[in-house]
Amino acid sequence: MPEVKISTMDQDEDFAAWLTELLEREAEEAGLPTGFEDRYIGLTDAIGDWIGGLRYYVRGGVAHLLDLVVAEAYRNQGHAHRLLAAFEDRAAMEGAHLAEFWTDDDRAEGLLGALGWTVVVRRTRYMNEGSWTLMEKRLPE
């Protein structure tokens, strides 16, 4: 057996492309969904300044909401509601039947709960030793 070496790789190296190709080929052969990429939804004002946005990806019929933020000066005006509605619509159009989001922010948990999301699990001493909540929402077909 040849000598092998473990190395830390950066995303911009050729290795990332090689690994992605290998994973996609394996998934196709197993009949599983292949790859995913982050998607973004932005919200701007009338002159094009950023108000807020979110980041997500869809994989295997599940839309994973990664980040949601509204600039401080624009909070409490319904912008997060608008962004979440756009996310749910786009995710459903992309074939997602379920949306989910991990949060350590009580405000996000309250907002999502008010919009029909439910708590799946709470984890204490999770990331950064904090408490995190996994929330989900079934999306319309």
pLDDT of residue 130: 81
- Do 68 and 22 share a structural domain? no
- pLDDT reported for residue 5: 77
Amino acid 117: pLDDT: 95
Taking the chain (141 residues) in runs of 10, the rounded mean pLDDT of each run is: 77 76 82 76 92 93 94 94 95 95 87 92 85 94 81
Range of the domain at 10: 1-35
19 lies in the same domain as 49? no
DSSP codes joined into one string, 22-67: HHHHHHHHHT-------EEEEEE-TTS-EEEEEEEEEETTEEEEEE
Q: Are residues 83 and 131 in the same domain?
A: yes
pLDDT in the model for residue 105: 87
14 and 44 assigned to the same domain: no
Q: Give 55's strand partners.
A: 40, 67
